[in-house]
Amino acid sequence: MSKIGVFVCHCGTNISSVVDVYKVAEAAAQMPGVSYAAEYKYMCSEPGQQMILDAIKEHGLNRIVIAACSPRMHETTFRKMLKKSKINEYLLEIANIREQDAWVHPPGEEATEKAIDLVRMAVAKVAKNEPLKSSLIPITKKALVVGGGIAGIQAALDIADAGHEVVLLEREPSIGGRMVMLDKTFPTLDCSACISTPKMVDVSAHPNIKLLTYAEVAAVKGYIGNFTVTIRQKAKYVNQDICTGCGICEDKCPKKVTSEFNKGLSDRPAIYKLFPQAVPAKPVIDRETCLMLQNGKCGICAKVCPVEGCIDYEAKDVEYDEDFGAVILATGYKLVDWGGMYDEYGAGRYPDVIDGLTFERLVNASGPTEGHIQRPSDGKEPKTVVIVKCVGSRDPKKGKPYCSRACCMYAAKHAHQILDKIHGARVFIFYIDVRTPGKNYEEFYDQTRKDGAVYVRGRVSRIYSDGEGLVCQGEDTLLNKQVRVKADLVVLETAMEPNEGAGELTGLFGASRDVNGWIQEAHPKLRPVETQVGGVFLAGACQGPKDIPDTVAQASAAAAKVIGLLNQDEMETSPMIAAIDESKCSGCGACEPICPYRAITLETIRSREGRFTNAERVIAKVNAGLCQGCGACTVACRTGAIDLLGFRNAQILTEVDALWQ
């Protein structure tokens, strides 16, 4: 016999100004199974909760309906509250009369009627609810951080400092990511390498961090607390244990290829470190370009290497499994291939039209020009530089619809650097808007303008050669006129997009991505560092364009989440997951491909079937650790064998029936 208590919340005046809450409580008291109904100004407050607990005791209630805001807001609050009572916390229903009623309807009779209907549905459902118990799963106390940029470095250090083991995995030969490519960082203009390389060294020296470079994730199995990740260690062909990092092999290597790190402004050998301050500070052989590995002729590096047996051309890729309790994805970004999008900017035909990252290498003290700004075509120092912002960003037609966030600030920084380094230089910055929401950002922008950078509001429509040099043509929307600027160098501040391979990697972990390919956070405001997959977190620009301060903050936040998880020995799982009635399951497998979390597998079981005592048949099984309770499988099941606990088909139908009573 259910004794249901209904509690109607005013939510200050949020609900009560539209819905007649007294009337709702009165009507609720008359509903079948309801023994007590009341209303209160703030049900979620301490006195509100106490009122519910008192009523439970006084009236011997065994099920609760709360008519208030969305369950996403306070369902957990009230579940926690019920733990203090004798009632199982799943014998609770929330009737959402705020978001789905008071906030979307005008005050009046009809809103009140709708509230009563919503309460009636919740009452009908709660009567059918059954007590549920969460189970405990053990946790592997080790974290995997994928991506060794500043986000991954920061997250790994924070987790390791908290005393947990971390594996930091990076596919390039060195950690450091984009940040080590930069010259100076806004708004303080401190040297990017000076603040990031010490952190890289910390990573390599930390006793709790295992650093894997030149490695990739090949496969992922398992669920929160219990991931098994297959790691593919690419062959480095240099024995990292005995290599002294002397660099003789790099000097003597006869093969020269374009340096990716210097954005094509210089060459590197086939046996190489990514950059001089690389961590680990030992070279690898690029097998795609190495003469020895490609056609078996050369072997100079092995000859000149002073350590015997250090260079091993026979090395092979190795794959192995490792267990983790939590994962942080920190795969970062790359700049869009603007050439393919913007033929009007020359599509790469003009060597002096470069992107922002190339400019960073050009102005970097450890870059190919040792920090002297020299234009790529003839090495001359440019006197007039045009900076074009939003190339590929905020351009749904040709590029990306979103704002890349960091460009306004680094455009100002580039302008500052040019004006600082080149005497008498002139800088024109074409912009749509100037967005500087960050601490000391606006001040930096303001200073850049005072330094002499000319901001022109409008887009550049065309960059062409007038036979002598480049001309940027665009509209000055403040003058309402077309303007042309003859430029020695053009820097395009291009859009960020998800890094190469980030999509496949996200897929391996079962996490999802948004329309632009960025990894989707579980909630844009309240769960910004989690993915929808339990135990998989994200940090930095893989979630969306970010500057360094935001990236580092997010990395530390993700690390905090991981530490919180790894500090537990076991964790509770939500009991609201799919359950399969084995007697009804025909083993058709329709549910398996539908599950977005890959929680359903088909298994062969032996059971008694009529007169066969040991019959074999296939049924679907749900992995309680992986299942997130989305309910997609229940819809796909042809025999109705799958139910979502807490949302059984029968419970939902009762709710629908109640609406028509």
Enumerate binding residues for other proteins (CB under 8 A).
Answer: 342-344, 347, 349, 428, 462-468, 471, 473, 476, 479, 481-486
Q: What is the DSSP letter of 389?
A: E
Burial (0-12, 13-18, 19+ Cβ within 10 Å), 611? exposed
Q: Is-contact 559 154, C-beta < 8 A?
A: yes
- Give the CA count within 13 Å in the CB-facing half-sphere of 203: 32
- Give the CA count within 13 Å in the CB-facing half-sphere of 509: 34
Helix (H) / strand (E) element for 53: namely: helix 46-59
**Residue 160 to residue 166: CA distance in whole angstroms:** 6
Question: Which of 430/518 has CB closer to other proteins?
Answer: 430
- Point out which residues pair with 267 in neighbouring strands: 258
**Residue 316 to residue 322: CA distance in whole angstroms:** 19
Q: What is the DSSP letter of 485?
A: E
Residue 18 phi/psi, 5° resolution? -115, -45
Residue 317 phi/psi, 5° resolution? -65, 145
- Least CB distance to other proteins at residue 464 (A): 2
**Residue 490 to residue 350: CA distance in whole angstroms:** 10
Question: Which of 67/390 has CB closer to other proteins?
Answer: 390
Question: Which of 293/347 has CB closer to other proteins?
Answer: 347
Token digits of residue 18: 């539209």
- Within 10 angstroms of residue 118's Cβ, the number of other Cβ atoms is 23
**Residue 60 to residue 5: CA distance in whole angstroms:** 9
- Least CB distance to other proteins at residue 607 (A): 60
- Least CB distance to other proteins at residue 337 (A): 15
- Least CB distance to other proteins at residue 376 (A): 17
Question: Which of 428/518 has CB closer to other proteins?
Answer: 428
- Give the CA count within 13 Å in the CB-facing half-sphere of 495: 24
Question: Which of 340/507 has CB closer to other proteins?
Answer: 340
Question: Which of 306/467 has CB closer to other proteins?
Answer: 467
**Residue 505 to residue 533: CA distance in whole angstroms:** 13
**Residue 646 to residue 658: CA distance in whole angstroms:** 17
Question: Which of 463/542 has CB closer to other proteins?
Answer: 463
Q: Is-contact 243 283, C-beta < 8 A?
A: yes
Question: Which of 462/584 has CB closer to other proteins?
Answer: 462
- Least CB distance to other proteins at residue 341 (A): 10
3-state helix, strand, coil in the chain (%, to 5): 30, 25, 45
Question: Which of 135/482 has CB closer to other proteins?
Answer: 482
- Within 10 angstroms of residue 380's Cβ, the number of other Cβ atoms is 12
- Least CB distance to other proteins at residue 489 (A): 15
Token digits of residue 160: 């390791």
- Point out which residues pair with 353 in neighbouring strands: 490
Task: Return all residues near 52 (Cβ < 8 A) that are at least 6 apart.
Answer: 5, 7, 43, 64, 66, 78, 81
Residues counted in the chain: 661
DSSP 3-state assignment of 230?
Answer: strand
- Least CB distance to other proteins at residue 408 (A): 22
Could you tell me the sign of the dihedral formed by the alpha carbons of 82, 83, 86, 90, in that order? Answer: positive
**Residue 180 to residue 274: CA distance in whole angstroms:** 10
Token digits of residue 82: 């019920």
**Residue 436 to residue 423: CA distance in whole angstroms:** 27
- Least CB distance to other proteins at residue 418 (A): 17
Considering all CA atoms of the chain, what is the largest pairwise distance in Å, rounded to the nearest integer?
97
Question: Which of 116/485 has CB closer to other proteins?
Answer: 485
- Least CB distance to other proteins at residue 285 (A): 39
Question: Which of 188/480 has CB closer to other proteins?
Answer: 480
- Least CB distance to other proteins at residue 478 (A): 12
- Least CB distance to other proteins at residue 432 (A): 19
Token digits of residue 125: 């459902």
Question: Which of 103/464 has CB closer to other proteins?
Answer: 464
- Transcribe 588-611 into DSSP letters: --THHHH-TT--EEEEEEEEEETT
Question: Which of 251/344 has CB closer to other proteins?
Answer: 344
Residue 237 phi/psi, 5° resolution? 65, 5
Token digits of residue 601: 């597998």
- Least CB distance to other proteins at residue 429 (A): 13
- Least CB distance to other proteins at residue 410 (A): 24
Question: Which of 202/475 has CB closer to other proteins?
Answer: 475
Question: Which of 316/486 has CB closer to other proteins?
Answer: 486
- Least CB distance to other proteins at residue 109 (A): 42
Q: Is-contact 418 425, C-beta < 8 A?
A: yes
Question: Which of 88/473 has CB closer to other proteins?
Answer: 473
Pairing of strands 271-272, 4-9: unpaired
- Least CB distance to other proteins at residue 346 (A): 8
- Transcribe 490-549 into DSSP letters: EEEEEPEEEPTTHHHHHHHTT--B-TTSPBPPSBTTTBTTB-SSTTEEE-GGGSS---HH
- Least CB distance to other proteins at residue 97 (A): 44
- Least CB distance to other proteins at residue 354 (A): 18
Question: Which of 167/485 has CB closer to other proteins?
Answer: 485
